Amino acid sequence: MRVADSNRHVNVDKMTRAELAAYERAMGARIVESGGVFWRRVRPLFYRPLLPFEALDLDCIKPPPQARWGAWQCAVTDAERANGSLAFLMFRDAPAYQLERLDRKRRWEVRAAARHFTIRPLTLPEELQRAYDVFVEFQQRTGYRYRSDRVDPRRYAAWAQEVFRHRGARVLGAFEGAQLRAIGIVHALVDTLIYATFFAAEQALQRHVASLMLHVVRQMAAGLAGVQRIYAGLRKHGPDATVDQFYLLRGAEVVVQPAYCWVHPVMAWCLRQFRPELLRRLLGEAPESAPQLGVKATTGTSPLRKQ
């Protein structure tokens, strides 16, 4: 069975940095701008740039005032001044993607899923609202805590409305007949497509809907002018690392960039007492133990620039 490549022609409006920051704020993230860079509060008193894969010049960085009693971390252009590293999941050379380049098992998963599901862009918030039960099942199954308030149907409906208020958020739905079984959300920024959101019903996952959704996202990226890569998130640790393995088996690479982390002495003492492994990782005292599949290191700058 041949999987249609019409998704190459699905358009995604490219966002500016400010538009992406506004979207993330609307989604509930705490975003501040300082020195021309948008920073995300990862946890209380700890900040990273909104686009953590972008390497910054340490001499030009102005960390957010909110981090002065905590910590901040970013990828840097000068590897000699780094004191740690950041690792990301990237699908590089996006225009060259072809299903036939995947291994036999991954091709079978995509084609098997395509017999059950049709993936198409959603155009109305009411369509996204139809995935409420899928989101609740996903949240209960995974214990995913970020914006778990969306299990309240009113808050989920408000979230769906907010997603469609922002230019550049492209929502994809996987349909099994008339039933919406999975959701993916992507954004495009300069040369990068950001695979930001995915959730699905458990039964749909068993039928490989995640593989099909990723295939469609990669087809879209291949057809978007100027897009060279897909960002699939920071590398994960602990039990969540199994998510990374899903991407690595389908062509992603772990890209490691030199990074600098500043930690307030009091915060460093607290971490040394209660989270020593985290402090070692942040300060580069314990190297990033990337999976063996597709590990790449880079010391170059990101082609993304401030807008």
Query: For a pLDDT cut of 90, what percent of the chain falls above it?
Result: 72
In a domain, 302, yes or no: no
Same-domain pairing of 127 and 237: yes
Residues 101 and 239 in one domain: yes
Domain holding 131, by residue range, is 6-14+91-248
Do 244 and 108 belong together in one domain?
yes
Same domain, 144 and 242: yes
Res. 286: pLDDT tops 60:
no
Q: What confidence score (pLDDT) does residue 296 get?
A: 56
**Structure token pair of residue 251:** 């062509």
Do 79 and 258 form a contact (C-beta atoms < 8 A)? yes
Structural domain includes residue 156: yes
Same-domain status, 156 and 181: yes
Are residues 119 and 216 in contact, defined by beta-carbon separation less than 8 angstroms?
yes
pLDDT recorded at residue 153: 94
End position of a domain, from candidates 231, 248, 265: 248
Q: Are 256 and 243 in contact (CB under 8 A)?
A: no
Whether pLDDT at 305 is above 60: no
Q: Judge if 95 and 122 occupy the same domain.
A: yes
> In this structure, are 130 and 68 located in the same domain?
no
My answer on whether 188 and 97 are in the same domain is yes
What integer is the mean pLDDT of 264-276? 89
Domain co-membership, 54 together with 127: no
User: Would you place residue 237 in the very low, low, confident or very high pLDDT band (cuts 50, 70, 90)?
Assistant: confident
Arithmetic mean of pLDDT over the chain: 88
Residue for token digits 């060259």?
96
In a domain, residue 123? The reply is yes
Question: Which own/partner pairs from 1-8 qualify as long-range (CB within 8 Å, at least 24 positions apart)?
Answer: 1/111, 1/114, 1/115, 3/99, 3/110, 3/111, 3/114, 3/215, 5/219, 7/119, 7/216, 7/219, 7/220, 7/223, 8/219, 8/220, 8/222, 8/223
pLDDT in tens, 48-75: 999 999 999 999 999 999 999 999 999 9
Domain with residue 225: its CATH number is: 3.40.630.30
Q: Where are the alpha helices (DSSP H) in 180-275?
A: 202-206, 209-223, 241-248, 265-274
- Burial 246-269, CB ≥16 within 10 A → b, else e: ebbbbbbbbbbbbbbbbbeeebee
Q: How many domains does the chain have?
A: 2
Looking at the structure, do residues 72 and 98 belong to the same domain, yes or no?
no
Q: Is residue 303 part of a domain?
A: no
Does any domain span residue 149?
Answer: yes
Binning the chain into helix, strand and coil, the percentages to the nearest 5 are 40, 25, 35
- pLDDT band per the 50, 70, 90 thresholds, residue 304: very low
Is residue 1 in some structural domain? no
In a domain, 143, yes or no: yes
Question: Domain for residue 67, yes or no?
Answer: yes
Task: Tell me the H-state helices in 115-194.
Answer: 125-129, 132-142, 153-163
Token pair for 186: 């992507």
pLDDT, tens digit, 9 for 90 and up, residues 124-154: 999 999 999 999 999 988 877 777 788 899 9
- Report the C-alpha gap between 94 and 90 in whole angstroms: 10
Q: Tokens standing for 22?
A: 């506004």
Per-residue confidence (pLDDT) for residue 290, from 0 to 100: 40
Statement to judge: residues 171 and 83 lie in one domain: no
Give the DSSP H/E element, type plus range, for residue 278.
helix 276-282
98 and 233 fall within a common domain = yes
CB 159 within 8 A of CB 175: no
